[in-house]
Copies of this chain bind each other. A is one copy, B any other.
Amino acid sequence: MKITIDQNKFNEGLSIVGRASSKSITLPILKNILLKTENNFLNLSSTDLEIGIKWWNLVKVNKEGELTVPYHSLSSFISFLPSKKINLNKKGNNLLLECEEYKTQINGISAEEFPIIPQIKEKEKVLIESKILCDSLLQLIDIPSLTKVKPEISGIFFLFNKEELKIVATDSYRLAEKKIILKKDNKSSFSFIIPQRTARELVNILKEVKQDIEVIFGENQILFRIKMSDFNHPYIELTSKVIEGSYPDYESIIPGKYNTQIILNKDELLNKIKAASVFVGKINETHLTISPKKGEMVIKSEDADLGNYNTKIKGRADGEEVNISFNYRFLIDGLSNIKSSEVILEFVNENSPGVIKPVGKSDFVYVVMPIKK
Please tell me if A283 contacts chain B, counting CB pairs below 8 Å. Answer: no
Contact flags (1/0) for A88-111 with B, using CB distance below 8 Å? 000000100000011111110000
Of the residues B73, B81, B82, contact of A306 by C-beta under 8 Å = B73
| In contact, B82 and A308 (Cβ under 8 angstroms) | no
CB–CB A104/B274 < 8 A: no
Asked if A347 lies at the interface with its beta carbon under 8 angstroms from chain B, I say no
B307 x A80 contact (CB < 8 A): no
Counting CB contacts under 8 A, is A173 at the interface?
A: no
A56, CB-defined interface residue at 8 Å: no
Q: Are A278 and B76 neighbours in the complex by a CB distance under 8 Å?
A: yes
When C-beta atoms are compared, the residue in chain B nearest to A82 turns out to be: B271
B-binding segment of A18-26, A175-183, A226-234, A309-317: A309-317
A77 within 8 A of B: yes
Q: How far is the CA of A71 from the CA of B307 in the complex (A)?
A: 13
Within 8 A of B (CB), among A294-313: 305-313
Judge whether A279 is part of the interface by a CB distance below 8 angstroms.
Answer: yes
CB distance from A304 to the nearest CB of B (A): 9
Judge if A319 is at the interface, Cβ distance under 8 Å: no
Residues of chain B within 8 A of A312, CB atoms compared: 101
Q: Would you call A275 an interface residue if the criterion is a C-beta within 8 Å of the partner chain's C-beta atoms? A: yes
- B311-A102 in contact (CB<8A): yes
Contacts of A73 in B (CB 8 A): 278-279, 306-307
A275 touches B77 (CB 8 A): yes
Other-chain contact of A103, B80, B81, B310 (Cβ < 8 Å) = B310
Q: With a CB–CB cut-off of 8 A, which chain B residues contact A107?
A: 305-307
Q: Which residues of B contact A65 (CB under 8 A)?
A: none
A151 lies within 8 A of chain B by Cβ: no
Interface residue A70 (Cβ < 8 Å from any Cβ of B): yes
CB-CB under 8 A from A94, the residues of chain B are: 307
> Beta-carbon contacts of A270-293 to B below 8 Å, as 1s and 0s?
011011011100000000000000
Whole-angstrom CA separation of A106 from B309 in the bound complex:
9
Contacts of A305 in B (CB 8 A): 107
Please report the C-alpha to C-alpha distance between residue A313 and residue B101 in the assembled complex, in whole angstroms: 8
Judging by beta carbons under 8 Å apart, are B81 and A275 in contact? yes
A310–B305 Cα gap in the complex (Å)? 63
Give the distance to chain B from A306, nearest Cβ to Cβ, in Å: 6
Bound CA span A61–B47, Å: 66
Seen from chain A, the residues whose Cβ lies within 8 Å of a Cβ on chain B are 70, 73, 76-77, 80-82, 94, 101-107, 271-272, 274-275, 277-279, 305-313
Known: A76-B277, A80-B274, A103-B310. 10 other contacts (CB 8 A): A70-B306, A73-B278, A73-B279, A77-B279, A80-B271, A80-B275, A80-B278, A94-B307, A103-B311, A104-B275
Q: Name the 4 nearest CB pairs between A and B, nearest first.
A: A80-B275, A106-B307, A105-B307, A77-B278
